[in-house]
Structure 1
């Protein structure tokens, strides 16, 4: 019996300002905005880069709480598979992205780097060594 495919997953990040998050993901990390609503002052957006897709949502009175803010040892909010993390790190650096953890080989068998978005969500971009 063949299994039905599940080729991607889309993390849903609560953010404080969707416009600011769109600008970060688009301008620093090369994501494309595929949807935002409403156009003028969006409270929801979808950003995509290759197979990586993020949902961004803001709502008055709800503060973003990234994983590391809940538990210090749970620092990642998303792992984004990057077949060539070295090239991706160079691209992000050229676009002015700051790394919250530099490109390296990690103790748990990965090669990659971390980026923190404006609301503190930490994304690891990398692959197994």
Structure 2
């Protein structure tokens, strides 16, 4: 039987170079050794992304509450929040404990994608 190995989220971006820089410099992703014109393949600790350059793409902020594109569970949420904040990441939802038992915060990327990072509260 076929076995799923891992997902790789795909995000449309208007400026591939600027977005790749944001994901590597602010969010700490590394560039994978896959080369394809118009694409960046990124990963951090097993989380994998594909950024696809779509210059005419509608800004993700125009989708309102549908601009949530990724939820990443982490270990060390406070350290990650500090890392992202110190590197100039735009925090869309502040770090805090949520009623569903997670400590979370949300970043908004230059293309308006909102990514939530969370950790289970022990």
Q: Same fold (TM over 0.5)?
A: yes
Q: 43, 47, 56: which one pairs with 1:52?
A: 47
Aligned residues: 120
Residue 5 (structure 1) shift: 5.9
Q: Could you say which residue in structure 1 is the equivalent of 2:28? A: 30
Instruction: Using the TM superposition, give the Cα deviation of residue 57 of structure 1 relative to its aligned residue in structure 2, in angstroms.
Output: 0.3
Equivalent residues in 2 for 1:32-111, closer than 5 Å:
32-34=30-32, 35-38=34-37, 43-60=38-55, 62-66=56-60, 69-70=62-63, 72-111=64-103
Gaps of 5+ in 1: none
Residues in 2 aligned to 1:4 and 1:111: alpha-carbon distance in whole angstroms = 35
TM-score, with structure 1 as normaliser: 0.79
Check the 8 A contact 2:41/2:50 in 1, yes or no.
yes
Structure number having the greater helix percentage: 2
Structure (1/2) with the larger strand percentage: 2
SS of corresponding position for 1:55: strand
Unmatched runs of 5 consecutive residues or more in structure 2? none
CA contact under 8 A between 2:70 and 2:115: conserved in structure 1?
yes
Report the Cα distance in structure 2 between the residues aligned to 1:69 and 1:80, rounded to whole angstroms.
22
Counterpart CA distance in 2 for 1:85 and 1:64 is 31
Give me the TM-score of the superposition, normalised by structure 2: 0.83
Counterpart in 2 of 1:17?
15
Q: Take 2:88 and 2:31, find their aligned partners in 1: how far apart are those partners? A: 19
